[in-house]
A and B are shown apart, each in its own frame.
Chain A
Amino acid sequence: DSGVTQTPKHLITATGQRVTLRCSPRSGDLSVYWYQQSLDQGLQFLIQYYNGEERAKGNILERFSAQQFPDLHSELNLSSLELGDSALYFCASSLGRDRASYEQYFGPGTRLTVT
């Protein structure tokens, strides 16, 4: 158990809908990262938050957004869902204070199926 929790574990929804994925980082970690794993794109970085502020953006679609709350949990919002958004979404966390504390620990993932 990495200490990172994600809910829900599975999500099945229809095209055009909107969903919210939730992540709680390890106790004490300030950085939260979101990644998407799909068969065709592999594991890709989406976005990072550090202590409530957006720090880095990767290949995140405009239909997707995220935020990190004062208690450090994070949510990833996916809207106008398309079939191609079906994937495993991971949240990771790290202490993130300095280079020595960047090791990332991954949650169990949320498997999203868009039908």
Chain B
Amino acid sequence: GIQVEQSPPDLILQEGANSTLRCNFSDSVNNLQWFHQNPWGQLINLFYIPSGTKQNGRLSATTVATERYSLLYISSSQTTDSGVYFCAVDWANSKLTFGKGITLSVRP
């Protein structure tokens, strides 16, 4: 099956800092989603981005499908951004394969 690798595995930031989270995948994909899992366990949709660039407030994402990677940018980080960020890809029949996640801690 497809491999999804996220890096770095852990990230500690000071409030106000910017960061880039990376997702590499080993095969062509139909779709790609970024999620934020908050400390209560809820998975929150951030982006649905099979290709191209999207922005939503302080967050933006870029997927370069031909080179098999996606980037999530967080600017001016806030403590509420803490949690685990997952990249998930749909490569067959719409089921999602998730990466292991990136744990982000934003310190005040």
Q: Which of A33, A56, A103, A108 contacts B41 (CB 8 A)?
A: A108
Determine the interface band of chain B, counting residues with CB < 8 A from chain A: 20 to 34
- On whether the beta carbons of A102 and B90 are closer than 8 Å, the reply is yes
Chain B minimum-CB-distance residue to A50? B94
Is B30 part of the binding interface, using a Cβ–Cβ cutoff of 8 Å?
A: yes
Number of A interface residues, CB 8 Å?
Answer: 26
Tell me if A105 is interfacial: C-beta within 8 Å of chain B.
yes
* Chain B positions within 8 Å of A90 at CB level: 43
Cβ-based interface call for B25 (8 A)? no
* A106 cross-chain contacts in B, Cβ below 8 A: 35, 42-43, 45
Contacts of A108 in B (CB 8 A): 41-42
Contact residues, A11-67 vs B (CB, 8 A) = 31, 33, 35, 42-45, 48, 55-56, 58
Residues of B within 8 A of A (CB): 30-31, 33, 35, 41-45, 48, 86, 88, 90, 92-98, 100-101
